[in-house]
């Protein structure tokens, strides 16, 4: 079953007064791009968290946001006296500027959170578990959206297949109408000259027209593209198929354009326009497929 590339998942936990919250948002993308946003205390854990995402999600732009609050007895931060002294010295040199202690403590680098290595390891283990939970939620949402995509894509594929059937049925009629119009024109022109139509000349001209306007090959290839497309979206893919579907869609459009340029019958042209419209809708939708 195909999956969408858009999804959201979150998970949170509290361990010994330490609050963890993790969110994952997934959007469309040609390849997998993962951005991990960590609080200052946990900077450096990005690679481990990215590896969890890449193991579960293969395509899309993924943003993971981690929030952390330490309300345990070890949460107190230390004051960086050198940084604080530097700020005070700079501020004191500016006339008319006064700043309170609370504001000073909020300046970058004044408060230092000394997260020990053991605490970081514990945090990483907890975040890994939360990341797996959030990824599962993302995949569930992507799968649900994939069902809607599948239904819409199948509708357009069936529409194209129906239009192609009408085109195939119209071709013999197109040749017949051309033969009749050609015979009428030739009779009129030759009648003015007192000559008669030679059957072999008429047959030759009709054969030339039929060869130039023959779209049997394009119709056959379009049928093949439709079958391949339906097969890909109807089974569980072993790898992302969005880019493959996009390529097949481009080939469908190519065949439709050729059919329209070779056979200028207004009825066929009407069906070709409908085919191209459905292909355009498919092309829009496959941009969302993983």
| Residues 20 and 130 sit within 8 Å (Cβ to Cβ) | yes
Structure tokens belonging to residue 109: 């680098």
Q: How confident is the model at residue 170 (pLDDT cuts 50, 70, 90)?
A: confident
Give the span between the Cα atoms of 256 and 112, in whole angstroms.
65
Average pLDDT for residues 193-206, to the nearest whole number?
A: 58
Q: How confident is the model at residue 237 (pLDDT cuts 50, 70, 90)?
A: confident
Here the contacts of 118-121 (C-beta below 8 Å, separation 24 or greater) are: 119/74, 120/42, 120/44, 120/45
Highest mean pLDDT among 100-114, 129-143, 235-249: 129-143
The pLDDT of residue 186 is: 53
CA angle (242, 243, 249) in 5-degree steps: 90
The pLDDT of residue 131 is: 97
What percent of the chain is modeled with pLDDT above 70? Answer: 81
The pLDDT of residue 86 is: 83
Helix, strand or coil, per DSSP, at residue 4: strand
Helix, strand or coil, per DSSP, at residue 201: helix
The pLDDT of residue 103 is: 78
The pLDDT of residue 257 is: 94
Q: How confident is the model at residue 249 (pLDDT cuts 50, 70, 90)?
A: very high
Choice between 172 and 4, residue whose per-residue pLDDT is larger: 4
Pairing mode of beta strands 78-79, 111-112? antiparallel
Helix, strand or coil, per DSSP, at residue 79: strand
Average pLDDT for residues 43-72, to the nearest whole number?
A: 92
What percent of the chain is modeled with pLDDT above 90? Answer: 52
Choice between 108 and 252, residue whose per-residue pLDDT is larger: 252
Q: How confident is the model at residue 199 (pLDDT cuts 50, 70, 90)?
A: low
Question: Roughly how many angstroms between the first and final C-alpha of the chain, as a whole number?
Answer: 11
Average pLDDT for residues 133-147, to the nearest whole number?
A: 95
Closest CA to 66 of 6, 137, 123: 123
| Domain map (residue ranges) of the chain | 78-112, 146-286
Structure tokens belonging to residue 59: 């395509």
pLDDT at 182 over 60: no
The pLDDT of residue 158 is: 96
Per the prediction, the chain carries an average pLDDT of 84
DSSP string for residues in 240-275: --HHHHHHHHHHHHHHHHHHHHH---HHHHHHHHHH
Q: Which tens digits make up the pLDDT trace of 256-287?
A: 999 888 777 888 889 999 999 999 999 999 99
| Residues 259 and 218 sit within 8 Å (Cβ to Cβ) | yes
CB atoms within 10 A of CB 243: 15
pLDDT at 193 over 60: no
Q: Which tens digits make up the pLDDT trace of 61-78?
A: 999 999 998 876 555 567
Average pLDDT for residues 241-247, to the nearest whole number?
A: 94
Helix, strand or coil, per DSSP, at residue 194: coil
pTM, entire model: 0.71
| Residues 259 and 221 sit within 8 Å (Cβ to Cβ) | no
Q: Which tens digits make up the pLDDT trace of 71-116?
A: 765 555 677 788 778 877 777 777 766 777 777 777 787 776 655 6
| Residue in the block written with tokens 């010295």 | 89
């Amino acid at each position: 079953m195909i999956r969408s590339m858009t999804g959201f998942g979150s998970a949170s936990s509290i361990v010994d007064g330490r609050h963890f919250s993790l969110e994952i948002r997934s959007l469309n993308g040609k390849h997998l791009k993962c951005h991990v946003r960590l609080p200052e205390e946990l900077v450096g854990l990005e690679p481990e968290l990215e590896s969890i995402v890449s193991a579960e999600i293969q395509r899309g732009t993924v943003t993971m946001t981690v929030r952390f609050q330490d309300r345990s007895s070890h949460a107190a931060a230390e004051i960086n006296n050198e940084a604080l002294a530097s700020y005070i010295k700079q501020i004191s040199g500016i006339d008319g500027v006064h700043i309170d202690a609370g504001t000073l403590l909020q300046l970058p680098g004044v408060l230092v959170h000394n997260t020990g290595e053991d605490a970081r390891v514990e945090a990483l283990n907890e975040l890994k578990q939360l990341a797996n939970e959030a990824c599962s939620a993302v995949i569930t949402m992507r799968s649900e959206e994939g069902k809607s995509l599948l239904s819409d894509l199948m509708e357009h594929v069936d529409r194209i297949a129906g239009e192609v059937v009408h085109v195939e049925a119209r071709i013999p009629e197109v040749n017949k109408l051309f033969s009749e119009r050609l015979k009428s024109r030739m009779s009129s022109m030759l009648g003015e000259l007192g000559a008669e139509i030679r059957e072999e000349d008429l047959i030759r001209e009709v054969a030339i027209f039929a060869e130039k306007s023959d779209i049997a090959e394009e119709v056959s290839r379009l049928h093949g593209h439709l079958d391949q497309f339906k097969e890909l979206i109807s089974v569980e893919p072993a790898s992302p198929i969005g880019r493959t579907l996009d390529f097949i869609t481009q080939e469908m459009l190519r065949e439709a354009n050729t059919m329209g340029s070779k056979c200028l019958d207004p009825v066929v042209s009407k069906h070709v326009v409908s085919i191209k419209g459905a292909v355009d809708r498919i092309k829009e939708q496959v941009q969302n497929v993983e």
